[in-house]
Amino acid sequence: MATPRVTWAQALAWRMERQFLDPLGAATPLEIVRRLCGVQAQVASSAELAVRLRRREATDTDVAAALSDGLLVKTWAMRGTLHLLPADEAGVFLALLAAGRSWETPAWERYFGLTPAQIEGLRDIVRNILDGRVLTREEVNAQIVQRPGYEHLADELKSGWGTLFKPLAWQGDIVFGPNRGTRVTFARPEQLTRHWRPVPAADEAAPRAIRAYLRAYGPANPAHVKRFVARGRVSGRTLKHWFAELGDSVAGIDVEGEPMFVAAEDVDAIVAKAPSSTVRLLAGFDQWVLGPGTEDAHVIPPGRRWQVSRTAGWIAPTVVVGGVVCGTWALTGDRVEVEWFSERGWTPLAGLESEVERLALLVGRPLVLAVAQSRPPVS
């Protein structure tokens, strides 16, 4: 049987539909976060906007309500960054991060002065500290450094990166609780929400996680999954093994000469999909660009990556047309300032104005569009 062939325009149009971008829908925050395999929440306001921009009607309390109800949890996940995840499926993705066992490497032990056995001990310590309680990070830290062998961690535990807590998060020991004022809190996930499910073994979780990824970000290959989940934390060999274990549940597809994979049940829909010209304003740190990775030249033109993926890991809000990033935008007062990539040709003013009207409803005040041309990058 011949391998189905599609264009990238078709593939991106199908991906936009799957990600609730074309058309917009009435999906709940839980449904959106589940479909996207998590939403990066390093910047809470960006995560909320990423969800709201995928809904025809949305309020500024929707995501907070899903967290309060325990439908969503917030924890360190893909690429070591904070994410919103469905409470009942979070462990599926955390298992892939835990599989890398990055905290057992000699480099980790040299840097933090903790052996793998001490990390296991830290898990027990923190679980005991949090048993039946939701505590601020400072309260947890204060108790950790009182334990023999962990006194030297005082400064490292204060780090905003939370590196020492990530192995605990990936093994399902902790998640973030409700903020106490401006302070973050930690909790045991099974005590925070009745929807929590234990973190499964990686080989059990991988088929579910990869299929979910392909159904939102396909067509894709193992390198895409590696960039999305863990980068250096899971080996390429392991990912190829996991792909091979998927068997007939995935299918090969040719996208303009590039061999890719999709979920088997999605082949016909992708082949039949017509290209899209829909304009969308997307939030900073949006899954549209983080899912395939900012290196993906089909989503972000290579010469423009620096304008989207900026210093200190900042991911700019983007203007997407037919799935391709064609500019960036910023909200300055009552102005939506679009920087249009001039090599993309004409500026779709009607589409941009429509998106600005929609954004105005979400932020609750009138907004005006201002467009500037960004000159082509120097080759």
Pick from 275, 305, 326: which residue ends a domain? Answer: 275
Pick from 255, 275, 295: which residue ends a domain? Answer: 275
Calculate mean pLDDT across residues 242-265.
Answer: 95
- 108, 114 contact by CB (below 8 A): yes
pLDDT digits (tens, 9 = 90+) for 102-116: 899 999 999 999 999
Q: Which residues of 137-170 are buried (b: 16+ CB within 10 A; e: fewer)?
A: bebbbeebeeeeebeebeebbeeeebbbbbbbbb
Q: Report the percentage of the chain scoring pLDDT > 90.
A: 87
- β-bridge pairing 82-86 and 135-136: unpaired
Pick from 239, 255, 275: which residue ends a domain? Answer: 275
Domain count, the chain: 2
- Is the domain of 197 the same as that of 257? yes
Amino acid identity, position 63 = V
Non-local (6+) Cβ contacts of 18 within 8 A are 35, 215, 216
- Is the domain of 77 the same as that of 133? yes
Q: Which of 45, 119, 123 is nearest to 362 (CA)?
A: 45
Backbone angles phi, psi at 86, to 5 degrees: -65, 130
- Is the domain of 33 the same as that of 72? yes
Higher pLDDT, 99 or 16: 16
Q: What does the DSSP 8-state code read for residue 100?
A: T
- Per-residue confidence (pLDDT) for residue 313, from 0 to 100: 87
Q: Report the percentage of the chain scoring pLDDT > 70.
A: 99
- Is the domain of 221 the same as that of 304? no
Calculate mean pLDDT across residues 143-165.
Answer: 91
- Per-residue confidence (pLDDT) for residue 231, from 0 to 100: 66
Calculate mean pLDDT across residues 284-300.
Answer: 97
Query: pLDDT class for 378, splitting at 50, 70, 90?
Result: low
Residue 379 lies in a domain: no
- Per-residue confidence (pLDDT) for residue 59, from 0 to 100: 80
Residue 13 lies in a domain: yes
- Is the domain of 187 the same as that of 240? yes
For the chain, give the mean pLDDT: 95
Residue 41 lies in a domain: yes
- Per-residue confidence (pLDDT) for residue 232, from 0 to 100: 61
- Is the domain of 268 the same as that of 293? no
- Is the domain of 253 the same as that of 270? yes
Output the six-digit token pair for 314.
Answer: 């900042």
Query: pLDDT class for 354, splitting at 50, 70, 90?
Result: very high
- Is the domain of 253 the same as that of 351? no
- Is the domain of 246 the same as that of 335? no
Q: Find the domain containing 330 and state its range.
A: 279-374
Residue 185 lies in a domain: yes
- Is the domain of 56 the same as that of 172? yes
- Is the domain of 217 the same as that of 361? no
